[in-house]
Structure 1
């Protein structure tokens, strides 16, 4: 793929970005595919997944790596953290004051360049705690 092809906006890329924004719930790639394919049945799963990768690489969406689960995508690409419910798997945004300074505080080996970080809080969401599924 040429650099130009990776950075230009395509109809498919716009559809994928719109789907991530419409779901607003940290969707998986399968969730995004379901939304896009309902409106455009001819689009392939590979096209949706490839475009999610391009959007994440460009910084248009945030790829949230979920240990032991499917990666999620977030339309918010500012610095913030996430929490994952161990019961239902829901992923939600977590606001942490002074988070901008965390990368600068990290003590890393000489020569290592910190380019970013992710933190995932684990626990039980309020809905699952109320349902005593915990």
Structure 2
């Protein structure tokens, strides 16, 4: 049985408060302001435990640090090519997309996480 420690609660609350697909480093920085006794290793360890429990999800963005998402349902993301923001896209998730990978590919698909590139609304406003 896994204990629900104060540190785990603080990490979970930080991910939910940020709601911006933050990196572990960004989460640690936020936590450290109010709880300087919580170490970086503790934040990383608790992020992994929360992912293992299915309470948050790790999002892997190619070429970047892993990010943590407060939304645990399957959905797609967009990455702004101007500011680097990662956004939740409001489009239907296609759960059987992997059926289009043929058996000839000899690749067993376990799931998919697609990130679309584009320009976010805030950056479009600035131009």
TM-score range (shorter-chain normalised) is 0.7 to 0.9
Separation in 1, partners of 2:113, 2:67: 13
Residue 51 and residue 83 in structure 1: after superposition, are their counterparts in 2 closer, same or farther (change >3 A)?
A: same
Q: Which TM-score applies when normalising by structure 2?
A: 0.85
- Count of matched residue pairs: 126
**Structure 1 SS opposite 2:27:** helix
Who is 1:16 aligned against?
11
Q: Which TM-score applies when normalising by structure 1?
A: 0.81
Separation in 2, partners of 1:31, 1:11: 19
**Structure 2 SS opposite 1:22:** helix
Q: Does 2:119 match 1:114?
A: no
Who is 1:89 aligned against?
84
RMSD: 2.0
- List 4+ stretches of structure 1 deviating above 4 A: 110-113
Separation in 2, partners of 1:86, 1:127: 12
Deviates more, 1:49-58 or 1:81-90: 49-58
Aligned pairs for 1:1-134 (under 5 A) are 4=1, 7-103=2-98, 105-109=99-103, 113-132=108-127
Separation in 2, partners of 1:25, 1:19: 11
